[in-house]
Structure 1
């Protein structure tokens, strides 16, 4: 690849941090929940229909629905949909993983995802020029991230839901690699790793609770945490390493099992699609609606770095 000058590396990293800092505000894009109501009045939209309408709006479906009765809502791209088509989710024909991907991509900014990003960039707490990773911040990020991955791995091994067993030993697990990285960090730089008591611990507690009460919502976090790390997370890791670790590649960003990362992700996607086949449409929508919370909690972790 073409080498970057130090200034280019810094600018690219700043752009990534700046765009990832929008995750908390972008969470509002999908975090709205539609309360379930009982005893709905005749003629009123059912809870499921309300939820579906919310999901369509949240995913940026592009259908500017109006009160054009009769043959279905008029759409922004010039044709009407009947009720059956109106209930379709973007990506639904390709499987539920594609639905999750579509929702997640809509929560990125145009800078992060030029074709699909819809979220508005957040106003920065710091000017971009001040986004400078630190070893102390990065070590804390690793420690807090390990709390999240420890929780994920323990949850799928717990058998709290029959579906979780399919997600044991996918090859995407990160806790063991993080433990090695934290040990290397402390030995190399003479630093002490604190106990996770910040955003990672908060996220881990949240995951343990939600995994017992709503497996579909937990699966949303499982998908977003692992798959985001394999993409944007890897880029951030490389850039930060170039800036403060002399290019050291951490275990957190290595997938060494046979077949490599692509094979692991393909197998895991197939398992996610199989699991979702057993869900009702309402359960699928609850999973999609959890995307905002996943982005919010992951964003808190990323902000530890700088």
Structure 2
């Protein structure tokens, strides 16, 4: 066997204690760990040494970056097999209703304003139609005289009468006595917020009706529409207090903003300017109404959006009934 000489140059800094290399021999193979204390340069003479020299065939370092990166790249799945990225659904925020930030009373005020604008628009449209009809008419003077007479009759039909005013007092007294009785008798804790507010009108209507009865005027019975409205209020007080409270507030609001104003004008025309009891208050009516409004808004913070939407619908219904009662003053 011929002797072979080999030399190995090894850099110690490239090996760690975890580094391994394999030595292959024609007679046997083994795996060993290099000893840093061993001399790095070894030479053998072919004449003095006749033993086979092992050959370094493989070097593996578990911390080598190249092997780690190559293995991770081989094991990574192809990009086209990756699932699509999950898109986060955008949260949708509900748009606030007009006046919602201020409270339920402000929302109802916007509904009342919209009803008023709608009423004024209808009135304007009717007046425009009548103007176009009058411009395009070809009737003679005699016909025009008859038309003027009918217009005068229409104007006179809107004049207040004592009987109509008394009917207004009777039906209003029925409504106010009902809502105030429901507030006093209810066992619901929330009804206590609206007791002794200074807005109570039952006794005031009773005094004015009694005074008119002494003027040889027959006191009528409440109309069917008012009785129907009162029954509806009783059902709301038992089944849905939030809806009842909205009617309660709107009834007082309509009386302060419109009812007592019309009553003063009727008194100037028919009662020689007598100061009616329904127009007397223990304080500033606007401040008293504000106190009720604040309590209503405080309770409204605990209502659901569905309950508030129903209250807005009830606002239109309340003004419809109260408008019917006020129109009793001018009806013949």
TM category, shorter: 0.5 to 0.7
C-alpha displacement at 1:170, in angstroms? 0.8
Please tell me whether residue 266 in structure 1 is matched to residue 274 in structure 2.
Answer: no
C-alpha displacement at 1:229, in angstroms? 0.8
Partner of 2:232: 206
CA contact (8 A) 1:144 1:198 kept: no
Partner of 1:91: 99
Distance in 1 between the 2:120 and 2:187 partners?
35
> Given the superposition, is the C-alpha separation of residues 197 and 153 from structure 1 closer, same or farther in structure 2, using an over 3 Å criterion?
same
Partner of 2:111: 103
CA contact (8 A) 1:216 1:286 kept: no
CA contact (8 A) 2:252 2:289 kept: no
Could you say which structure has the greater relative contact order, defined with CA pairs below 8 angstroms and 6 or more residues apart? 1
Distance in 1 between the 2:255 and 2:160 partners?
18
Counterparts of 1:26-37 in structure 2, within 5 Å, are none
Partner of 2:176: 149
C-alpha displacement at 1:84, in angstroms? 2.2
Question: What SS is found at the alignment partner of 1:294?
Answer: helix
Distance in 2 between the 1:128 and 1:292 partners?
28
Distance in 2 between the 1:84 and 1:243 partners?
55
Please tell me whether residue 178 in structure 1 is matched to residue 178 in structure 2.
Answer: no
Of residues 219-228 and 140-149 in structure 1, the stretch that sits farther from structure 2 once superposed is: 219-228
> Given the superposition, is the C-alpha separation of residues 171 and 123 from structure 1 closer, same or farther in structure 2, using an over 3 Å criterion?
farther
Please provide the CA RMSD for this pair.
Answer: 2.4
Distance in 1 between the 2:265 and 2:296 partners?
30
CA contact (8 A) 1:138 1:305 kept: yes
Distance in 1 between the 2:320 and 2:272 partners?
30
Distance in 1 between the 2:292 and 2:220 partners?
32
Distance in 1 between the 2:309 and 2:178 partners?
24
CA contact (8 A) 2:183 2:191 kept: yes
Question: What SS is found at the alignment partner of 1:275?
Answer: helix
The runs of 5 or more residues in structure 1 that have no matched partner are 1-81, 111-116
Distance in 1 between the 2:126 and 2:244 partners?
30
Distance in 2 between the 1:224 and 1:123 partners?
28
The runs of 5 or more residues in structure 2 that have no matched partner are 1-90, 128-152
Distance in 2 between the 1:194 and 1:263 partners?
34
Please identify the structure whose Cα radius of gyration is greater.
2
C-alpha displacement at 1:265, in angstroms? 1.4
1:160-188 deviation line (CA, Å, top 9, x unaligned): 5331111011111110000000011111x
Distance in 2 between the 1:148 and 1:119 partners?
30
C-alpha displacement at 1:129, in angstroms? 4.0
Question: What SS is found at the alignment partner of 1:93?
Answer: coil
Question: What SS is found at the alignment partner of 1:90?
Answer: coil
Distance in 2 between the 1:210 and 1:227 partners?
19
Question: What SS is found at the alignment partner of 2:232?
Answer: helix
TM-score when normalising by structure 2? 0.60
Question: What SS is found at the alignment partner of 2:264?
Answer: helix
> Given the superposition, is the C-alpha separation of residues 197 and 92 from structure 1 closer, same or farther in structure 2, using an over 3 Å criterion?
same
1:61-111 deviation line (CA, Å, top 9, x unaligned): xxxxxxxxxxxxxxxxxxxxx95252x11011112211111111211147x
TM-score when normalising by structure 1? 0.65
Please tell me whether residue 215 in structure 1 is matched to residue 223 in structure 2.
Answer: no
Please tell me whether residue 164 in structure 1 is matched to residue 191 in structure 2.
Answer: yes
Question: What SS is found at the alignment partner of 1:190?
Answer: coil
Of residues 137-146 and 152-161 in structure 1, the stretch that sits farther from structure 2 once superposed is: 152-161
